[in-house]
Amino acid sequence: QVQLVESGGGLVQAGGSLRLSCAASGSFLSINAMGWYRQAPGKQRELVAVISSYGSTNYADSVKGRFTISRDNAKKTVYLQMNSLKPEDTAVYYCNAGVVTQRFTTVDYWGQGTQVTVSS
């Protein structure tokens, strides 16, 4: 069983910062890409940022220059540093990881989601 446990969400004023964390646990060989997605009420889930196992990153245009994704492979954890937050960043943020199982297959896992609310 693989679990992704997120933390760090909350309520913040516009212009503020939050740092999300997502730790993977369980029995698996390795983790490929890890990423953060978000879903606002009435909208589809969208990619926020992704980081490969080697550290290359990609961001949604809406967060470039404000958000930074990073990972600690030893801790099996991915982070999302969110600065200059805007009310439109309000959403449930989900962690995603491509986990290589002991059967050498890659399975997508999702965290339970953490609420980020930015007040104006």
Res 104: pLDDT: 94
Residue 24 has what pLDDT? 97
Q: In terms of DSSP bridges, do strands 114-119 and 10-13 run parallel, antiparallel, or are they unpaired?
A: parallel
Q: Average pLDDT for consecutive 10-residue bins of the chain (120 residues)?
A: 94 98 96 97 97 97 98 97 98 97 95 97
The secondary element (H helix, E strand) that includes residue 20 is: strand 18-26
Let me know: does 61 contact 43? Beta carbons within 8 Å: no
Query: What's the confidence (pLDDT) of residue 44?
Result: 97
Per-residue model confidence (pLDDT) at position 85: 98
Give the contacts of 20 (CB within 8 A, at least 6 positions apart): 6, 7, 8, 9, 36, 79, 80, 82, 93, 95, 114, 116
Amino acid residing at 7: S
pLDDT score of 1: 84
